[in-house]
A and B are shown apart, each in its own frame.
Chain A
Amino acid sequence: NAGVMQNPRHLVRRRGQEARLRCSPMKGHSHVYWYRQLPEEGLKFMVYLQKENIIDESGMPKERFSAEFPKEGPSILRIQQVVRGDSAAYFCASSQQGTGAEPLHFGNGTRLTVT
C-alpha cells in the first residue's frame, strides 16, 4: 500500500513563474492537508481539502496561492508568480476519517527553490 506520494521532490522556479505541486493521498484517504516548512521553522498549516471541497484555507496566503482536490487525480497546490519568499518545503498529508483519532500520513515533501 503506497504512502502519500508527492511530486516533484525538487522544483526550481524563477521569480514570476508558476509552481504546481502534486499530492496523491494514501489509498482510501479522502482528507488532504498541505503544510509549508520554512528553513529552521516548524510546519505551518495551509489548507485542508476533501474531494472537490476546500474545508479550511485559513493558512493560505490571500494572493497567488490556490489548492484543489478534484474528484479524480491528485491534489494540486498552485503558486502563481512565485517570489523568493515562497522557497520552502511543502508537505502533503492525508487521513481516512478526518476526526483526529488517527494520525496524519505525510509525504516526503516538495522542496521549492525560487531563484
Chain B
Amino acid sequence: AQSVTQLDSQVPVFEEAPVELRCNYSSSVSVYLFWYVQYPNQGLQLLLKYLSGSTLVKGINGFEAEFNKSQTSFHLRKPSVHISDTAEYFCAVSDQGTDKLIFGTGTRLQVFP
C-alpha cells in the first residue's frame, strides 16, 4: 500500500528566508505526486503536481518541487517565503490511473517577521 512521509511536522522560518518541506513516498509503481496547501478553516488548494516529464515542477505562489525517483522524494521549496505562506502543507501520492490520494500527515509552515 502507498504511504507518504512528511518528516517535519513544523517548520518555523523567518520572512524572506528559503524553505524546504520534505516528502518521501513508498511505491514501486508509477505514481502521480501532489502538494496541497491548507489555510486555517479552509479546504485544500493545489500548489503543484508531478505527472511525468521534467522532474522540476513549478507551482503557484513561487513554490517548486523536485521529483527524485531514486530517493522516492518530492520535496517542496521556495527561495523566499512571505508571512502569507503560513499554512499547513500536505504531500500526496496516487497511483497512475486513479484519483485516490494518499496524504502525508502535513507540515505546518510558520513564517515569522
- Chain B residues lying within 8 Å of A101, measured Cβ to Cβ, are 32, 51
Question: Smallest Cβ distance from A99 to chain B, in angstroms?
Answer: 6
Question: Smallest Cβ distance from A65 to chain B, in angstroms?
Answer: 17
- Chain A residues lying within 8 Å of B98, measured Cβ to Cβ, are 98-100
Which A residue sits closest to B48, measured CB to CB?
Answer: A103
Q: How many residues in A have their beta carbons less than 8 Å from beta carbons of B?
A: 26
Could you tell me if A103 and B46 are in contact, using CB atoms closer than 8 angstroms? yes
Could you tell me if A103 and B34 are in contact, using CB atoms closer than 8 angstroms? yes
Could you tell me if A108 and B99 are in contact, using CB atoms closer than 8 angstroms? no
Question: Smallest Cβ distance from A32 to chain B, in angstroms?
Answer: 10
Residues of chain A from 32 to 77 with CB closer than 8 A to chain B in the complex: 33, 35, 41-45, 48, 56
Which listed residue (B32, B42, B95, B103) contacts A108, Cβ 8 A? B42
Contact A100:B94 (CB < 8 A) given known A45-B101, A95-B99, A108-B42: yes
Q: How many residues in B have their beta carbons less than 8 Å from beta carbons of A?
A: 27
**How many Å lie between the Cα of A42 and that of B92 in the bound state?**
10
**How many Å lie between the Cα of A69 and that of B39 in the bound state?**
28
Question: Smallest Cβ distance from A31 to chain B, in angstroms?
Answer: 6
Could you tell me if B103 and A43 are in contact, using CB atoms closer than 8 angstroms? yes
Residues of chain A from 94 to 112 with CB closer than 8 A to chain B in the complex: 95, 98-104, 106-109, 111
Which listed residue (B4, B90, B96) contacts A100, Cβ 8 A? B96
Contact A91:B99 (CB < 8 A) given known A100-B32, A100-B94, A103-B34: no
Could you tell me if A91 and B103 are in contact, using CB atoms closer than 8 angstroms? no
- Give chain B's interface residues, CB within 8 Å of chain A: 4, 6, 32, 34, 36, 41-46, 49, 51, 90, 94-106
